[in-house]
A and B are shown apart, each in its own frame.
Chain A
Amino acid sequence: MKNVLGRFVPEGYEPFAGSGAYKDKKRIIIQEKKTSRGFEKLSSISQMFDRLGIKDGMTLSFHHHLRNGDFVLNMVAEEIKRRNLKNIKLAPSSIFPNNRILAELIENGNVTEIYTDYVNGPVAEAISRGKLKGMCVMHTHGGRPMAIESGALHIDVAILAVPAVDKDGNGTGTVGDSACGSLGYAESDLKYADKVVFVTDTLIDKAENPQLDGKYVDYVLKVDAIGDPKGIVSGTTKITKDPVGLKIARNTVKLLEELGLIEEGLSMQTGAGGTSLAVAYYVRNRMLEKGIKGSFASGGITGYFTDMLEEGLFKELYDVQCFDLKAVQSIGKNSAHHAMSGSRYANPYDDNVVDKLDFVILGATEIDLDFNVNVTTDSHGMIMGGSGGHSDTAHGAKVTVITTNLVKSRLPIIKEKVTTVTTPGEDVDVLVTERGIAINPRRQDLLERVKGSKLPIVPIEKLLEAAHKITGVPEKLKQSDKPVGVVVYRDGTVIDTIYKIREEGK
């Protein structure tokens, strides 16, 4: 079966029918887990497996707030390996290179299905090479809470790393040796998993304003360390120094200004990549020059945004996960820096934050002539990421801007058709490159606004031509026909299929 974008949808999955199709369906919410004040203390991971009866075929969930410094998923993986459990389904909100042990578990058939929003490193490679027996189901950050609350993704045990837990079982991310700030992606797991375990390295008397309510907690396990706080900082959380990236950022801000988006009360989100942060920085400078104040910024929050909050440039920050330690410190002390759940952030059926955004600045691994964006695989079809909040924010924001170099290591970023669709072109409005700006023809309103502009605004086809002139025309790569995963849009439908990569080539 094919979906509305002409992409193949494997048997048993519902095809994507458009980014607004969720509005015609009703929200389904299963019963929250039965709650009881009072939890049992566990003494080891092994005891946790015995006490909870963790066995073959179960679904275990995790959050990724400790990012590449997380120890908890790996501890559980070691125990699965030791016990040689089979057909375990894992549902971590993301998977990072430090979780490489999972590649071994996949190979051995210990883990046979994966549900996640983002995966890179050795585990992504194992999946792309066809080692996972079942499918890798890739959600968005808003689609995951929707899948959990509706029962589509049923969790037997949520094993949640929590930086500090108090006497009543309340959990917080703002204190402890492994403080990571917001724990937004853990909230749905907490409420809807059959059983919940908090794994912590810090027991405290009373948590202030705890994000995770102790009434849902069944077990608390204290370990020596749940993670390495240095690992929570993501790859790039500094402004780019690359002159090309800076040019793209400057032109982006000029364009935002011409579109009337840098005005009193603005709301925005950017990714944590170097160019996105440069956009944030230039927006800040324009706000200071114009003497205006914004309403809010959201997303994964970095120190650049907490600085803007402290300078009075935003009234509020809505933070689903902290990208750097400065953000972690801010969320503990600034009352206008709010932690939010993944559902509040981006669940299509929640009163979500993404729908209130004026603009969002996002990246792309590939973008095509229909403005479809791929951030899930590289041009070979190898998994190297995932939507995260990409397609959620692109749908919610009034204007979605993709910033990218025209060419990266000889590969043109613009394609006739992207290898994998993560975010549908109907939700992508503008592409800014160093060689020009393309506006999606679906947005005649934006094209109208920039009439007479001095900015280099050209059809996207011209940018593709410019790229090919530099690189030559790349040969077409034929994908294999063996699905290894599906890209699930935020409403639960399948927007594209991920295929096993071909091993030939170098």
Chain B
Amino acid sequence: MKRGIAGSLESNDALITVKESDKLTITVKSIVYDFFHKQIEKVIRDTLKELGVEKIDVVCEDKGALDYTIKARLIVAVKKMEASE
């Protein structure tokens, strides 16, 4: 199965793992879950829309990353998935 990983578990970063899927699933684990999980999910949805990806499995392990970091990690993870064999 095609998959892509980007990011890290360092402070202020996020590790994003994406896998091919026949539906859209987004899982967010975050040290700031109580405060920002809706916002993190929104960034992921918005970014996928920009990329034109509708069905994918996204797991975001967040260590307090800002929106632009999450977006960048997600874009790279998706590109890596698409490029993988």
Contacts and interface: CB of A to CB of B under 8 A. Distances in A.
B11 interface: yes
Given A471-B66, A472-B36, A474-B36, A410 B12 contact: yes
Given A409-B12, A410-B12, A471-B66, A506 B29 contact: yes
Contact of B39 (A379, A470, A472): A472
Q: How large is the interface on B (under 10, 10 to 19, 20 to 34, 35 or more residues)?
A: 10 to 19
Given A409-B64, A410-B64, A475 B35 contact: yes
A506 B33 contact: yes
Given A409-B12, A470-B66, A477 B36 contact: no
A409 B63 contact: yes
B67 A411 contact: no
B12, B30, B36, B67: most-surrounded residue (chain A CB, <10 A): B36
B34 A410 contact: no
Interface in B3-52: 11-12, 28-39
B65 A410 contact: yes
B33 to A, nearest CB: 4
A506 B33 CA distance: 6
A379 B30 CA distance: 14
A407 to B, nearest CB: 8
B34 A472 contact: no
Interface string A467-485: 0001110110100000000
A506 to B, nearest CB: 4
Contacts, number: 41
Interface string A99-130: 00000000000000000000000000000000
B66 A505 contact: no
B34 A409 contact: no
Interface of A: 379-380, 408-411, 470-472, 474-475, 477, 505-506
Interface of B: 11-12, 28-39, 63-67
Contacts of A472: 36, 39, 67
A475 B38 contact: yes
Contacts of A470: 66
B30 to A, nearest CB: 6
A379 B36 CA distance: 13
Contacts of B30: 506
Contact of A380 (B28, B34, B65): B34
B79 to A, nearest CB: 25
Contacts of B11: 409
Given A410-B35, A471-B66, A506-B28, 8 more contacts: A380-B34, A410-B12, A410-B65, A474-B35, A475-B38, A477-B34, A506-B29, A506-B30
Contacts of A505: 33-34
Contacts of B35: 379, 410-411, 474-475, 477
Contacts of A474: 32, 35-36
B36 A475 contact: yes
A214 to B, nearest CB: 49
A471 B37 CA distance: 12
26 contacts: A380-B34, A408-B64, A409-B12, A409-B32, A409-B63, A409-B64, A410-B12, A410-B32, A410-B35, A410-B64, A410-B66, A411-B32, A411-B35, A411-B64, A471-B66, A472-B36, A472-B67, A474-B32, A475-B34, A475-B36, A475-B38, A477-B35, A505-B33, A505-B34, A506-B28, A506-B29
A477 B37 CA distance: 12
Nearest to A409: B64
A477 B36 CA distance: 11
A506 B38 CA distance: 13
Contacts of B36: 410, 471-472, 474-475
A380 B66 CA distance: 19
Nearest to B35: A474
A152 to B, nearest CB: 36
A506 B63 CA distance: 12
B12 to A, nearest CB: 6
A366 to B, nearest CB: 12
B11 to A, nearest CB: 6
Nearest to A412: B35
Nearest to A476: B35
A410 B33 CA distance: 11
**Of listed A470, A472, A474, A505, residue having the most chain B CB within 10 A:** A472
B40 to A, nearest CB: 9
A493 B33 CA distance: 34
Contacts of A471: 36, 66
B67 A409 contact: no
Contacts of B66: 410, 470-471
A411 B65 CA distance: 10
Contacts of A409: 11-12, 31-32, 63-64
A271 to B, nearest CB: 21
Contacts of B12: 409-410
A142 to B, nearest CB: 34
A129 B34 CA distance: 17
A474 B37 CA distance: 9
Contacts of A408: 64
Contacts of A477: 34-35
Contacts of B38: 475
A161 B63 CA distance: 39
A506 B27 CA distance: 11
Contacts of B67: 472
